[in-house]
Amino acid sequence: MSKRAVASTIIVVLFLAALSQAVLAQQGPGGGPGPAMREGMGKEITPEQFPEVKARILKMLDERRLRIDQEKACVEASKNGEELKKCRPERPGGGMQGGPGQQRPPRPAGEQRQ
């Protein structure tokens, strides 16, 4: 194998390693659906359990849809930034990916990253 081929292989391996770390970092703790949705995943659901599991998942989806519809109506009705902020209350622990209350403000135009 030539030196060029070895160098190319090493570069590809390093790139893939860096990419996999970035993907894992974005997933955060758990890296998948919440515990309630994971409950039936990975395990075989017996025919006796199926109706109960299906009903529980449908109920969770309906509750989530209701919350999203309420939030959407609030956003649509908002007339300014303060009203818009009230549509998405800060969750305990910051919510998903820091939540809106913990994001830093945008940089002024022309300001460089440090």
Reported as a pLDDT band with limits 50, 70 and 90, residue 103 is: low
pLDDT tops 60 at residue 87: yes
Select from 95, 89, 57, 59 the least CA-distant residue to 71.
89
Q: Give how far Cα 31 sits from Cα of 8, 38, 65, 84, 91, Å.
A: 31, 11, 22, 29, 19
Q: Extract the tokens encoding 46.
A: 């017996």
Q: Give domain limits for the chain.
A: 1-32, 37-87
pLDDT digits (tens, 9 = 90+) for 3-23: 888 888 888 777 777 777 766
pLDDT tops 90 at residue 52: yes
Is residue 57 a contact partner of residue 40, using CB atoms and an 8 Å limit? yes
The residue behind tokens 């025919």 is 47
